[in-house]
Structure 1
Amino acid sequence: MSDLVLYGHPFSSYTWKALMPLYANGTPFEFRNVDPAFPGNWDFCRKVHPAGKFPVLVDGEAIVIESTAIIEHLAAHYPGAAPLIPEDPGQAVVARMMDRVFDRYVMDVGQLVVNAYIADAANPNPDQVAAGKNGLLHSYAWLENWLAENELPAHVSLASCAAMPSLFYADWIERIPDTCPRVRDLRAELIALPPAARCIEDARPYRHYFPLGAPDRD
């Protein structure tokens, strides 16, 4: 049995972010589903994470929380064919910057809408929904401009592991507009990557969890 254990949920965007590098590099690990059906896994995450969240990576005696740190740990201790962190220091800065952009200004902004529907699916807070949807449109426009002068390679890396689940779910919340073709094309390229496709397929049985109602696509 592998020393690596990943606690997460198959439908969780941040779990996808941690799973993609493991799949891309063929790194042996055990997956433990943090689902109500497995209360012991929930209890473990509540014990080791300050907010009781997942994913959590256990590597022998080491416990690593937060998906970005998990990818950094895998890059340092389990390198493989997929270059998770660019070797060039300048490019590594850009990768880390874009990791934060996708987490903070796509994933977390879209979560505002999801949280509003979780709180009251019949009458979600309109201000919170508007803030999330408008925030996504603003982020899409920023990304479209950034992609006009920069490249985010469509292979598994810190930046793409943040981008794929962010854009996958964000497009369910607020469609990427026709004015952002580069962002739309990037999403399509990333979700076609084999590790991403595996995450998407494994999560398919849980689509009823999506509080806005999962669209009949992807």
Structure 2
Amino acid sequence: MSITFYGHPFSAYCKKVLIAFYEHDLAYELRQIDFEGSSALDEFSEIWPIKRMPVIVDQGRPVIESSIIIEHIDQHYHRDVRLVPQDSQSALESRFMDRFFDNYISTPQMTVVFDVLRDQQDRDAYGVAKAKELLETSYEWLDTKMADRTWAIGDDFSMADCAAGPALFYAHWTHPIDPKFGHIHAYRNRLMVRPSFARCIEEARPYRHLFPLGAPQAD
């Protein structure tokens, strides 16, 4: 039985999980969610009333939240690839870096984007300023962290890199990463040519018009 994937190719958190699917060469059936009314949306809402993507259904069992989904497929469908290291200390580092990219890169990035989507009278200039401040602090910390690393936890590609790809991809579109952070730019470039993430980028290319700040041609 194939896995059913509820999500959208342009979503950062869906990309995060799809990277893991592609690393494992795992097949799935996409039920695309566009929030404009469809049988897929009705199914999705029934499974997860909070309606945050992605969600998968594996053999009748829903699995919710991107990091949990990655751990689930890593446990049950790994081949020669393990995205959560078997060494306990490395596993903790992978989970920590996963949370870093979700909480301190993706979350403030989305704060800036969602603010643009609001009506003018509902915008939050203070919240956006604080989000950009957090991004700058996160960039500085990450640049130092990546000075001697190929991937987020060292030499091995892990769950943390699944989170990093879309986080840094969209963050640079939203609040450009200063050229002085050369280690981040090099890491982002490595992520973009990783076959699993490169596939995600291409699959989402037709939806770039949805990005409210404008999508750069360079990526």
TM-score if structure 1 supplies the norm length? 0.92
Aligned residues: percent identity? 39
Q: Which moved more, 1:153-162 or 1:189-198?
A: 153-162
Displacement after TM superposition at 1:75 (Å): 0.7
Q: Which amino acid aligns with 1:43?
A: D
Displacement after TM superposition at 1:30 (Å): 1.0
Q: Does 1:216 align with 2:217?
A: yes
Q: 1:117 to 1:154 in 2, by over 3 A?
A: farther
Displacement after TM superposition at 1:107 (Å): 0.3
Which residue of the partner structure matches residue 39 of structure 2?
40
Which residue of the partner structure matches residue 184 of structure 1?
185
Q: Does 1:30 align with 2:67?
A: no
Displacement after TM superposition at 1:44 (Å): 2.1
Q: Which amino acid aligns with 2:193?
A: A
Q: Which moved more, 1:95-104 or 1:136-145?
A: 136-145
Q: Does 1:166 align with 2:167?
A: yes
d(CA) in 1 for partners of 2:59, 2:161: 27
The answer as to whether partners of 2:146 and 2:187 remain within 8 angstroms in 1 is no
Displacement after TM superposition at 1:154 (Å): 7.1
Q: 1:212 to 1:124 in 2, by over 3 A?
A: farther
d(CA) in 1 for partners of 2:19, 2:146: 22
Q: Which runs of 4+ in 1 moved over 3 A?
A: 120-125, 148-151, 153-156
Q: Which amino acid aligns with 2:159?
A: L
Q: 1:45 to 1:144 in 2, by over 3 A?
A: same
Q: What is the aligned residue count?
A: 217
- Map 1:53-202 onto structure 2 (within 5 A): 53-120=52-119, 124-148=123-147, 152=152, 153=154, 156-202=157-203
Q: Which moved more, 1:173-182 or 1:127-136?
A: 127-136
Displacement after TM superposition at 1:123 (Å): 8.9
Q: For structure 2, which runs of at least 5 residues remain unmatched after alignment? A: none
RMSD of equivalent CA atoms: 2.0
Deviations along 1:172-195, whole A, 9 cap, x unmatched?
Answer: 011111221111111110011111
Deviations along 1:29-71, whole A, 9 cap, x unmatched?
Answer: 1111112466122222222224111100100121101010000
Displacement after TM superposition at 1:136 (Å): 0.9
